A = this chain, B = another copy of it.
Amino acid sequence: MTTDVSAAEPPVPACPGPGPDEARWLSEDEQLAWRAWLFSSLLLHDRLDRDLIRETGISHAYYEILVQLSETPGHSLRMSELAERCLSSRSRLSHAVARLEERGWVRRQVCAEDGRGQLAVLTDEGFAALEGAAPVHVESVRTHLLDQLSPQQITAMRDIGETLLRHLAPR
Contact = CB atoms under 8 A, between A and B. Distances in A.
Contacts of A6: 67, 70-71
Interface residues of A, number: 69
A161 B29 contact: no
Contacts of A158: 29, 32-33, 36-37
Contact of A33 (B12, B148, B161): B161
B161 A37 contact: yes
Main secondary structure on chain A at its contact with chain B? helix
Interface in A114-171: 127, 130-131, 134-135, 137-139, 141-142, 144-146, 148-149, 153-165, 167-169
A86 to B, nearest CB: 10
A66 B6 CA distance: 9
Nearest to A23: B135
Contacts of A134: 5, 7, 10-11, 23
